[in-house]
Chain A
């Protein structure tokens, strides 16, 4: 793991610990993917969040939003002050992202299974308008329990929305609840181009994105990004009690020590 992403993880931990609210393991699971997307894939204009030619990024698993906030801050799209006020009444950022307040947040998410169908609608709208903007939506493998995901997977395939790419944070959340481990076959059966990548490795993601052309009249693509929930801090990694837990002082010391 490179130094940069350690910094992002530290920042995530800091804002969550200060506010005593947030999902550290889920954010650690996706922060490398979001950082990769803003660095390499998404077009945006710093001073104009509603730039007509921007690519649309929807974080469907809204509870991982601390990862999005720290990446937006890194790229100068949110201010330090915004993150310092995370989950306070003075701020615009909270435990789930609010599109009415936060620049570059295209959809308020939090209730799982909403962001993906909304991204499908955005992709359809762009296709109707013959626009070339990309639509990238990040969802959880646990979120794939929701019926609305498969409704929209079917729709996107039938409407040939090649301009959408779903990235699944495949950290095995579903497996410890109600397993649906053959995700690749499921998405294939729904008519999607399926790719498997390492969600903590820029090179792996880069190779896959080279294969996706985002044509507005093609097959939609999904990347099953293998990730580790809590990645980067050994005692937080995995499933269970850390999902929505705030580390105590001793645990904080271990956490920041590992992220040095």
Chain B
């Protein structure tokens, strides 16, 4: 089994955090076990604060105020939705710095139900002026992008997917704020983020055999967004499908639309989460419920190509 992205986070804390004495890790009783190597080595800079999301955010602001670099780690809905006002006022309004590392975005906790799902985190954080948003879909992406921005005096939001997308990028390919063109193509531009890349690549394998050529653009950085990459691609294909586990009201589709303003006759469609997803099951089963399965991608590409004719 490949290494979990969350494990990479723990490893980076040990590596970077043991050297950089300004880093203070606050966790809301999550990943406590895997962070023990860091905790044991840096006893005065590791705190399992418990189940109190509001305080953990305010406390991080206090740490930032005295020149430390808080790394706050807990479950996405509990911190970004429950403690949004704290994040907004301390880090958006007062411009303190924080590295906010979450797990359990979208339906990664697929068997635990709606209370543990979170589709709005990326949108919520994006409203804050000095925020950066990263969804590292592989361990390498986390390593490169965290190292790149963790010292920035801003809100550095990292949403760690439970399931890596399975593609290995070289360090050179991973640039903060830039998308990655996974594959050159001519018929449809696919904009994708997070674990969804896996389903997109599976769909691509099927379509290739039918002579349909996808240009696949992958985004690990949602803010700042690489508008140019989408613009160039859609100028050529005139056809766009976005695939994301984020809220349909405000995810990468909106960024893509901003990118293609001024390009005429573009056929486009969004695959995203439109509402709560009730029910339980495996990650792949919830993908089906949400309309984000490989079949859904195939079906919608077909529809777009028909419109294009």
Contact status B61-A118, CB under 8 Å: yes
Q: Report yes or no: A125 in contact with B90, Cβ–Cβ below 8 A.
A: no
**Min distance, Cβ B93 to any Cβ of chain A, angstroms:** 6
Determine the chain A residues whose CB is within 8 A of the CB of B63 once the complex forms: 121-122, 124-125, 128
Contact A126 B86 (CB under 8 A): no
Contacts of B24 in A (CB 8 A): 125, 128
Closest-CB distance, B42 to chain A (whole angstroms): 10
Report A79-119 residues with CB < 8 Å from chain B CB.
99-100, 106-108, 111, 113-114, 116-119
- Interface contact A107-B65, CB-CB below 8 Å: yes
Q: Are B89 and A108 in contact (CB under 8 A)?
A: yes
Q: Is B255 an interface residue (CB 8 A)?
A: no
Q: Interface residue tally of chain A, by bracket?
A: 20 to 34
Q: Do B86 and A114 have beta carbons less than 8 Å apart?
A: yes
Residue A123 lies at the interface, judged by CB distance under 8 Å to chain B: yes
A73 to B114, CA, bound (A): 52
B94 contacts the other chain (CB 8 A) = yes
Chain B contributes a number of interface residues (CB within 8 A of A) equal to 29
Q: What are 10 pairs between A and B in contact, CB < 8 Å?
A: A100-B95, A107-B94, A111-B89, A120-B62, A121-B59, A121-B62, A125-B67, A126-B66, A151-B55, A155-B50
Find out whether the CB atom of A125 lies under 8 angstroms from the CB atom of B65: yes
User: What's the minimum C-beta distance from B187 to chain A, rounded to whole angstroms?
Assistant: 50
Q: Map CB proximity to B onto A142-183 as digits: 1 under 8 Å, 0 otherwise.
A: 000001100110110001000000000000000000000000
Q: Are A100 and B93 in contact (CB under 8 A)?
A: yes
Contact B85 A111 (CB under 8 A): yes
Known: A106-B65, A111-B89, A151-B52. A120 touches B94 (CB 8 A): no
Q: Are A148 and B59 in contact (CB under 8 A)?
A: no
Asked if B207 lies at the interface with its beta carbon under 8 angstroms from chain A, I say no
Docked pose: A114 CA to B87 CA in angstroms:
11
User: Nearest 3 CB-CB pairs, A to B?
Assistant: A121-B62, A121-B59, A117-B58
Q: Is B196 an interface residue (CB 8 A)?
A: no
CA distance A56 to B63 in the complex (A): 13
